[in-house]
Amino acid sequence: MSKIILVTDQHPLANSLCPFELGTIDECVEYISKQEVVGVDTETDGKDFTRKKIVMFQIGTADVQYVIDTRTISIEPLRAYLEGSATKIFHNVKFDYKFIKSRVDAGTLTIADAD
């Protein structure tokens, strides 16, 4: 089973009752930057990438998943990785890519769509 690490500034979640391990965006970047293939998923508050927001960004491997609360944590530190040569596997890349590109102004991503 994957280890799930929550990255958030939501203090009610960041306490001993949280069922997930807590982490930082810097720890996420450090781990992810060593990976050649990762899975990526987003959760949004709507379908219009020009007006709606990413509320959760998940990135990881079969062993470790980082779930980032993008309401409080920017995914901008992941930009270099997202633009890099590592392969990113998405479930619905047409949807997720538009949101990611609009939020971190990432260049071309090396991607694969699991759809």
Residue 69: strand pairing partners: 56
Pairwise CA distance, residues 22 & 14, whole Å: 7
Residue 113 has pLDDT above 70, yes or no: no
Residue 3 has pLDDT above 60, yes or no: yes
CATH of the domain at 104: 3.30.420.10
Q: What band does 10 get if pLDDT is binned at 50, 70 and 90?
A: confident
Q: What is the pLDDT of residues 13-69, one digit of tens each?
A: 555 666 778 899 999 999 999 999 999 998 888 776 766 787 899 999 999 999 999
Q: What is the pLDDT of residues 66-97, one digit of tens each?
A: 999 999 999 999 989 988 889 888 888 877 77
Number of domains in the chain: 1
* pLDDT of res. 101: 74
> Which parts of 1-87 fold into alpha helices (H)?
25-32, 79-83
User: Is pTM beyond 0.85 here?
Assistant: no
- Edge-to-edge strand list for the sheet holding 21-23: 21-23, 3-7, 64-69, 54-60, 37-44, 87-90, 111-113
Pairwise CA distance, residues 71 & 31, whole Å: 22
- Please give the C-alpha separations between residue 88 and each of 17, 19, 20, 39, 58, in angstroms, as whole numbers: 32, 27, 24, 6, 11
Q: What band does 110 get if pLDDT is binned at 50, 70 and 90?
A: low
The parent domain of residue 52 ranges over: 3-113
